[in-house]
Chains A and B, each alone.
Chain A
Amino acid sequence: MTDHADGDLAAIREALEKFGRLNRPLPEIADDDDLFAAGFTSHATVNVMLAIEDALAIEFPDELLNRTTFASITALANAAAQSRGSR
């Protein structure tokens, strides 16, 4: 597990706050908590992905466009780091 840039984590949390439609307040959600267990829906993942891509100026590669990528804040941060690496 890599250390994630604070900026990435902040951007991911902001995207989840705006578009995640979670059923618990975001500050209560730890980086490794299961987002789907917190009410994250497939339709919400779409808007969250677009917001993260926009904020971090990255594009998730096709192989990351699946449910696992959105399972937790850590998973999203890993995906963001990987997207940057693949450019």
Chain B
Amino acid sequence: MSLDGAVADLRRRLLAAGVLAELGEPGVFGLGGAFTRVFDAVDALYVAAFAHLRADVWRFPPVEPRSLFERTDYVASFPQLTGSIGVFAGGAAEHAELLRVRAEDGRWEDLLVPGGLMMGPAACHPLYAVIGGTLPVGGRNYDVLGSCFRHEPSPDPMRLQSFRMHEFVHAGTAASATAHRDEALPRLAAMLGSLGLEVADVPANDPFFGRTGKILASNQRHQALKFELVTPVYGDDAPPVAIASANYHEDHFGTAFGIFDAEGGVARTACVGLGMERTVLALFARHGMTTSEWPEPVRSVLWPHG
């Protein structure tokens, strides 16, 4: 089967089984009960696997202030993935115009104006604004689960425009941050392996935009800053799909948000992030659409109490 055929087949099976429901735009789905039950079990397992970090828990809304978004430099590197919130700020005349355009099936959204909010592209961005200041000796760990928006419409159910990422972030020194990344990746790989997923860790780069992005990607690979855990979803001939990543950000966020280590140096940060929807869907792709028929060892890891 071709890759396109395999993508269409997985999508059809997920929809037919009610794991996902179509909402009318690529990469935006309703998530059914079976999906949600697996999601919750995977998430609990993940949190248990990283309980030793004693991480501070933070949750953030799916939108972030433009001022915060600016500090991350995201739009310089990833303009193609960026989304901004448009709002209606007019009066009666503008409302009348909007209704006129809408009645003609026109694009009334063109009459909205930027509302000062951006779609959050990474779960951990708002965290750096919260932790600004000086860290304790040894640094600190954080647990962040949040929604990410990335404008990359695709028929592939493994590539959503809106999805959740659960991250364990460390802020500290270069040594403590790289140690966090390098310790977290095999731990996460073992957890995914216990769910019957074949995973491999591979060096990776982010999809930086354009000509300048080629340099950033080349640097990221050269410095071995990013690793992904990939798993086959569409057969052995197709490229495997990344379901998790581990990143060392150097001083990017420490500088941007004024975070300092206990010695007063600019903090280094690193994170391990699990793509929650991708992981859940990879499990359905691997074990089938009916969770009651999944292999007993996998079921007992996910639902130890039945």
Q: Is A56 an interface residue (CB 8 A)?
A: no
Instruction: State whether B214 touches A67 (Cβ < 8 A).
Output: no
Instruction: State whether B252 touches A43 (Cβ < 8 A).
Output: yes
A81 to B207, CA, bound (A): 29
Q: Which residue of A lies closest to B214 (CB)?
A: A65
From the candidates B215, B220, B222, B223, name the one contacting A49 in the complex (CB within 8 A).
B215
Instruction: State whether B211 touches A45 (Cβ < 8 A).
Output: no
From the candidates A45, A50, A60, A62, name the one contacting B219 in the complex (CB within 8 A).
A45
| Residues of chain B at interface, number, CB under 8 A | 14
A69 to B222, CA, bound (A): 13
Kindly identify, within residues 175 to 231 of chain B, every residue whose CB is under 8 Å from any CB belonging to chain A.
211-212, 214-216, 218-220, 222-223
0/1 interface trace, chain B 216-249, chain A, CB 8 Å (1 if under): 1011101100000000000000000000000000
Instruction: State whether A49 touches B212 (Cβ < 8 A).
Output: yes
Chain B residues within 8 Å of A66, by CB = 214-215, 218, 222
Kindly identify, within residues 6 to 55 of chain A, every residue whose CB is under 8 Å from any CB belonging to chain B.
41-43, 45-46, 49-50
Q: Is B43 an interface residue (CB 8 A)?
A: no
Q: Is the interface of A mostly helix, strand, loop or mixed?
A: helix
Chain A residues within 8 Å of B214, by CB = 62, 65-66
Smallest CB separation, B247 vs chain A (Å): 13
Smallest CB separation, B220 vs chain A (Å): 7
A66 to B214, CA, bound (A): 7
Instruction: State whether A43 touches B73 (Cβ < 8 A).
Output: yes
Q: Is B64 an interface residue (CB 8 A)?
A: no
Q: Is the interface of B mostly helix, strand, loop or mixed?
A: helix
0/1 interface trace, chain B 48-90, chain A, CB 8 Å (1 if under): 0000000000000000000000000100100000000000000
From the candidates A41, A46, A67, name the one contacting B212 in the complex (CB within 8 A).
A46
| Residues of chain A at interface, number, CB under 8 A | 14
Smallest CB separation, A49 vs chain B (Å): 7
Instruction: State whether B215 touches A50 (Cβ < 8 A).
Output: no
Chain A residues within 8 Å of B223, by CB = 42
Instruction: State whether B211 touches A67 (Cβ < 8 A).
Output: no
Most chain A CB neighbours (cut-off 10 Å) among B211, B212, B215, B222: B215
A69 to B76, CA, bound (A): 21
Chain A residues within 8 Å of B215, by CB = 42, 45-46, 49, 65-67, 69-70
Q: Which residue of B lies closest to A70 (CB)?
A: B215
Chain B residues within 8 Å of A46, by CB = 76, 212, 215-216
Smallest CB separation, B76 vs chain A (Å): 8
Q: Which residue of B lies closest to A69 (CB)?
A: B215
Q: Which residue of A lies closest to B250 (CB)?
A: A41
A36 to B300, CA, bound (A): 50
Q: Which residue of A lies closest to B223 (CB)?
A: A42
Chain A residues within 8 Å of B73, by CB = 43
* 14 examples of A-B residue contacts, CB within 8 angstroms: A42-B215, A42-B216, A42-B220, A43-B76, A43-B216, A43-B252, A45-B219, A49-B215, A60-B211, A66-B218, A67-B218, A67-B219, A69-B215, A70-B215
Chain B residues with a Cβ under 8 A of chain A: 73, 76, 211-212, 214-216, 218-220, 222-223, 250, 252
Known: A42-B220, A42-B223, A66-B222. 17 other contacts (CB 8 A): A41-B250, A43-B76, A43-B252, A45-B216, A45-B219, A46-B212, A50-B212, A60-B211, A62-B211, A65-B211, A65-B215, A66-B214, A66-B215, A67-B215, A67-B218, A67-B222, A69-B215
